Structure 1
Amino acid sequence: MTTSEGNGPVLSIRDLAVALPAGADRRYAVEGVSFDVGPGEIVCVVGESGSGKSVTAFSVMGLLAKGELAAERGEILLEGEDVLKASPERLRDLRGTRMAMIFQEPATALNPVMTIGDQIDEVLQIHTTLSPAERREKVIAIMEAMHLPDPQALYDRYPHQLSGGQRQRVMIAAAMVLDPVILIADEPTTALDVTTQAQILQLIKEMQERRRTGVLFITHDFGVVAEIADKVVVMRHGAIVEQGPAAEIFANPKVDYTRMLIASVPSLEPPSREPAMGPVAVETHDLVKGYGGKSWLGRATQPAFLAAKDVNLVVRRGETLGIVGESGSGKSTVARCIVRLVDPTSGAIEIAGTDIAGLSTRALRPYRRRVQMVFQDPYRSLNPRRTVGASVMEGAMNFGLSHEDALARAQRLMGLVGLSPDALDRYPHQFSGGQRQRIAIARALAMEPDVLIADEAVSALDVSVQKQVLELLDQVKREFDLALLFITHDLRVAAQICDRIAVMRRGEVVEEGPTRELFLNPRHEYTRTLLAAAPGRHLGHAVAAE
């Protein structure tokens, strides 16, 4: 739905410039930014990290970090009122009543010691004079509108008792309970699996159409943009490089940067791949991981919850096996069992023909080198107090390599992952997210493993950086003849990198086979549901066709 004629914009940003602190790599975080959001219109602001899209959103809400960022010039007109000139008291009144924001990670945005109902009710307590009974009724109604299950029971639950998708729905409920004229959504679906992501995007569209709310949607993913946008604003290095109706931007992007972002969306059409014929590097037999199941006296009982049930997987050298599924499907549990970060309840894990499932910590040590893992968050994977070189060299030196040989290996690996060997003397905070993930890959390769496990290793990265890291993983798999176990909730990514796919649901593998065969002819209903929920699926096919 787009802005109807005669309706003025609910949000109008004019020549916004936000200054960075002295000594930054550029003078302005954003400069010369101008665009409008009409009633009932979804405007997607898209760009890579550092493009200024989130700074623009935070400027609208008056949430810029004091002493670090400041609007130097321009106007932000909310139904004609300049929020840059509003007092703190007026801004507080506007937040929730006329404008609201939902954030990327609901687990950190919600108060863990307040019930769900109380957190939504808090907005009504601050901004209305409704009675407790009226407020409760309104909270239940907005939770029902968000398609949350059993709102009466959910009212008294805590955030940790909800799934990620349910927590995001609660955030939207708190934002929408007072019918704001503008909703700002800052990367609200990045951390969610494809089916939950599709539900949240549909929910935002429903709210926008039903309430005529203007939506400012911040994202780095043109696949998401293809699903919901009426208008697109493309930002780079703090400036708008292109804007216009979504259909026009997709059909005829005017600048190379926009074309690059669109082309970076992985296609859902897998390329043809020859089956890997190398020796088996890792396999699991009837792998089970359960939680709970011990009485207060310590006696073992049946596990209360099975995160993985009778999982049988085989990965050969030179092969990439993707494990896909929603949050809670058990895919990361299987990966952590294989690398022995958690102990399996039963079953076998064979590395080079040896079952390591029941080995003691001492007996397991020689096998630690052979299975290495790259984690989702490159910001938390590296010790901020140690140089990159120390982190890359540490594992190999712990297994007997001399300092000189470890340094030579680290320098060679830095070149392999596309970074200068001189970077070994720097600290993690001096690198971008994509560069840190390259360093994490180099650290894993320094152990010369047989098996590399990538657990959501690209989900936190911009689509253009994601593409580069995927190409790097494919390259190192071939160069080192690795078995690569690739855990992801993004089927577009899985389509491009995986030779075979195992689909997991509720701890079980429901379907497994060659990637192209599985994508073109899915046998299980759950697989079909996952494929149908992938954002930008039509865009991906269009890009592949080009």
Structure 2
Amino acid sequence: MSGPVLDIRNLSVRLPKGGDRAHAVDNVSFSVNPGEIVCVVGESGSGKSVTAHSVMGLLPKGQLAPVAGEIMLEGEDMLKASGSRLRALRGTRMSMIFQEPMTALNPVVTCGEQIDEVLEIHTDLSFAERKDKVLAVMDSVRLPDPAKLYDAYPHQLSGGQRQRIMIAQALVLDPSLLIADEPTTALDVTTQAQILKLIAEMQQRRGTGVLFITHDFGVVAEIAHRVVVMQKGSVVETGTADAVLKRPEHPYTKMLINAVPTLTPPKREVKTGQLMLETVKLSKVYGGGGFFRKAREVRAASEVDIQIRSGETLGIVGESGSGKSTVARCIARLIEPTSGTIRVGDLDVAMLPERQLRPHRRICQIVFQDPYRSLNPRRSVGASIVEGPCNFGMSAEDALKKARDLMKLVGLSPDALDRYPHQFSGGQRQRICIARALAMEPEVLIADEAVSALDVSVQAQVLDLLDDVRRKFDLAVLFITHDLRVAAQICDRIAVMKNGIVVEHGKTTEIFAAPQHPYTKSLFEAAPGRNFQFARVA
């Protein structure tokens, strides 16, 4: 085919009445050629995913409706296609990889069956032929032991393996167009590098056109041929990856690129304050068996020694399964450690029974990765913020005054305390979670992947906020992340974890300048766009 695989012409998608603007997507035009990767970037709410769902015919009925334009897939207008025609085209000529494989895959159907379903619906192959094809595509996406994983369920696979199952499902019928909607956002840096390499290989080998939606400019620098920048539903800039990333023209593009954290950590003064958090030989072992299963022991954390002083930020980095979050949850006593010491202030909380942990619950607070899941959707954000202080004896009047002050501190209007979590953006919800944690006047603040799901400009704002509250309240901060760029900007010291063990530990500037352990070096080598020089425009 000589023309583009996908040609979007003047597409407009209407929002329901009462929205912040009339159109989710407004007069958008761009194309994707065979064998080309086009990255669409922009903040949350810019219209990236709505555009992708419009192509697939997956817009929620009654809420979003295309009102103008054309979406030409190999010359056929998707906006005029019937429901049955769209179902026939999904999987055969266009496929989509979603952001979160655990919600996109059926938890009660084996992985092999889920890939086979595409073949069963769209082909006349026999079961044996389909199974051979499924095993072949699982092998092509570098899944280990496809015959074994064919009968495995999604929860039995790692995040990277689940994402590979989705890619296999999307590519099993060699579609002309592959849409990838933030497919690497929640993955650690090495798994992300593998998935990006896999998508690029597939695109080259099969000549597939790829529409890749992301907010990670490192990913854009790594794989994009062309870049489309969207803001509030409109395309504000488009061009080759080199041109857009090195010579941006639109102020919005310049703002996004300026917000990309660098891999060069700033110099930070050595903190000499009081030792607020110390773990000594902290270990967490999971084990168990059953009537038909042999007992198996998993050492999620093994003899971890870390220290954090007041006013200091320690970052823990590593792949998924390295033990980062296990250490954080042990320190917060959300799970019980197997052995070791956890001193928070003057208290050793490692082996305290639950009934004696009340003082610890106040001085050690945690901000989770997903603010929407950690806020009660049926309670106003004001009620969520005041709950903790009231539980510890503060009057409702004083707690509300504190909540209003904290909303100002985190950059939100105090008048919004009566609103509910769904009425805020992702970045605003994370600010509310930070305010809720600060309401307890903690001495130790744990941030567990607190910015990984945020787009680049909001991420920069939340990182600035965390650093600001650290200084203002002289907090000891434990910062868990898989993003080396983020760790570089906010952490005084870094602990690198692999398989439950701290393999390297030191000042951020020293580790980033000269990593010593082979695993640490592999993390740096896997960072997307690590060698790309982004334009920093004043």
Q: In which range does the TM-score fall when normalised by the shorter chain?
A: over 0.9
Say whether residues 1:512 and 2:505 are aligned partners. yes
- 1:58 corresponding residue in structure 2: 53
Amino acid at match of 1:75: E
| CA contact 1:208–1:214 (8 Å) conserved in 2 | yes
Query: How far 1:425 moved relative to its partner?
Result: 2.1
- 2:36 corresponding residue in structure 1: 41
Tell me the distance in 1 between the aligned counterparts of 2:230 and 2:290: 56
More displaced 10-residue stretch of structure 1: 425-434 or 9-18: 425-434
- 2:70 corresponding residue in structure 1: 75
Tell me the distance in 2 between the aligned counterparts of 1:294 and 1:239: 55
SS of the counterpart of 2:91? helix
Superimposed CA distance per residue, residues 439-494 of structure 1 (whole angstroms, 9 cap, x where no aligned partner):
11011111111100000000111110000000000000011000000000111100
- 2:8 corresponding residue in structure 1: 13
Query: How far 1:293 moved relative to its partner?
Result: 3.9
- 2:459 corresponding residue in structure 1: 466
Query: How far 1:104 moved relative to its partner?
Result: 0.3
The within-5 A match list for 1:213-362 is 213-293=208-288, 304-362=297-355
**1:302 to 1:345, Cα distance in 2 relative to 1, 3 A:** farther
Tell me the distance in 2 between the aligned counterparts of 1:323 and 1:460: 17
Query: How far 1:536 moved relative to its partner?
Result: 2.2
SS of the counterpart of 2:90? helix
Tell me the distance in 2 between the aligned counterparts of 1:466 and 1:154: 36
More displaced 10-residue stretch of structure 1: 221-230 or 481-490: 221-230
Q: 1:163 aligns with which of 127, 146, 158?
A: 158
Amino acid at match of 2:237: E
Tell me the distance in 1 between the aligned counterparts of 2:418 and 2:352: 37
More displaced 10-residue stretch of structure 1: 259-268 or 319-328: 259-268
More displaced 10-residue stretch of structure 1: 242-251 or 175-184: 242-251
- 2:189 corresponding residue in structure 1: 194
Query: How far 1:7 moved relative to its partner?
Result: 2.1
Say whether residues 1:538 and 2:531 are aligned partners. yes
- 2:125 corresponding residue in structure 1: 130
Superimposed CA distance per residue, residues 264-303 of structure 1 (whole angstroms, 9 cap, x where no aligned partner):
111001111111100100110111111124778xxxx997
- 2:476 corresponding residue in structure 1: 483
Amino acid at match of 1:457: A
**1:545 to 1:255, Cα distance in 2 relative to 1, 3 A:** closer
| CA contact 1:269–1:544 (8 Å) conserved in 2 | no
Amino acid at match of 1:192: L
SS of the counterpart of 1:449? coil
More displaced 10-residue stretch of structure 1: 274-283 or 360-369: 360-369
Tell me the distance in 2 between the aligned counterparts of 1:178 and 1:276: 57
| CA contact 1:267–1:543 (8 Å) conserved in 2 | no
Tell me the distance in 2 between the aligned counterparts of 1:543 and 1:368: 45
**1:168 to 1:476, Cα distance in 2 relative to 1, 3 A:** same
Structure 1 gap ranges (5+): 1-5
Superimposed CA distance per residue, residues 395-427 of structure 1 (whole angstroms, 9 cap, x where no aligned partner):
111111112221221121111111122122222
Query: How far 1:251 moved relative to its partner?
Result: 2.2
- 1:3 corresponding residue in structure 2: none
Tell me the distance in 2 between the aligned counterparts of 1:517 and 1:545: 28
Tell me the distance in 2 between the aligned counterparts of 1:46 and 1:544: 17
The within-5 A match list for 1:359-378 is 359-378=352-371
| CA contact 2:276–2:309 (8 Å) conserved in 1 | yes
Superimposed CA distance per residue, residues 94-151 of structure 1 (whole angstroms, 9 cap, x where no aligned partner):
1111000000001111111111111111111111111111111111111111011011
- 1:396 corresponding residue in structure 2: 389
Tell me the distance in 2 between the aligned counterparts of 1:223 and 1:542: 9
- 2:104 corresponding residue in structure 1: 109
Amino acid at match of 1:166: Q
Q: Which runs of 4 or more aligned residues in structure 1 lie more than 6 Å from their structure 2 counterparts after TM superposition?
A: none
| CA contact 1:101–1:186 (8 Å) conserved in 2 | yes
With normalisation by structure 2, the TM-score equals: 0.97
Amino acid at match of 1:215: V
Tell me the distance in 2 between the aligned counterparts of 1:256 and 1:61: 31
Q: 2:93 aligns with which of 95, 98, 105?
A: 98
Query: How far 1:545 moved relative to its partner?
Result: 10
Query: How far 1:354 moved relative to its partner?
Result: 2.1
| CA contact 1:290–1:303 (8 Å) conserved in 2 | no
Tell me the distance in 2 between the aligned counterparts of 1:308 and 1:302: 18
Query: How far 1:353 moved relative to its partner?
Result: 2.6
- 1:457 corresponding residue in structure 2: 450
Say whether residues 1:209 and 2:194 are aligned partners. no
- 2:430 corresponding residue in structure 1: 437
Say whether residues 1:150 and 2:145 are aligned partners. yes
Give the aligned length: 536
Amino acid at match of 2:268: R
| CA contact 1:16–1:32 (8 Å) conserved in 2 | yes
Tell me the distance in 2 between the aligned counterparts of 1:493 and 1:401: 36
Structure 2 gap ranges (5+): none
SS of the counterpart of 1:17? strand
SS of the counterpart of 1:49? coil
Superimposed CA distance per residue, residues 26-78 of structure 1 (whole angstroms, 9 cap, x where no aligned partner):
11110111111000000011111110010100011011111111111111111
Query: How far 1:538 moved relative to its partner?
Result: 2.5
Query: How far 1:543 moved relative to its partner?
Result: 5.1
Tell me the distance in 1 between the aligned counterparts of 2:483 and 2:57: 34
Tell me the distance in 2 between the aligned counterparts of 1:23 and 1:356: 50
Structure 1 vs Structure 2 CA RMSD: 1.5
| CA contact 2:258–2:537 (8 Å) conserved in 1 | no
- 1:139 corresponding residue in structure 2: 134
Amino acid at match of 1:158: Y
Aligned-pair identity (%)? 69
Q: 1:32 aligns with which of 19, 24, 27?
A: 27
| CA contact 1:267–1:544 (8 Å) conserved in 2 | no
Query: How far 1:24 moved relative to its partner?
Result: 1.6
Tell me the distance in 2 between the aligned counterparts of 1:293 and 1:308: 16
Say whether residues 1:181 and 2:200 are aligned partners. no
- 1:498 corresponding residue in structure 2: 491
Say whether residues 1:418 and 2:421 are aligned partners. no
With normalisation by structure 1, the TM-score equals: 0.96
SS of the counterpart of 1:183? strand
| CA contact 1:318–1:483 (8 Å) conserved in 2 | yes
- 1:523 corresponding residue in structure 2: 516
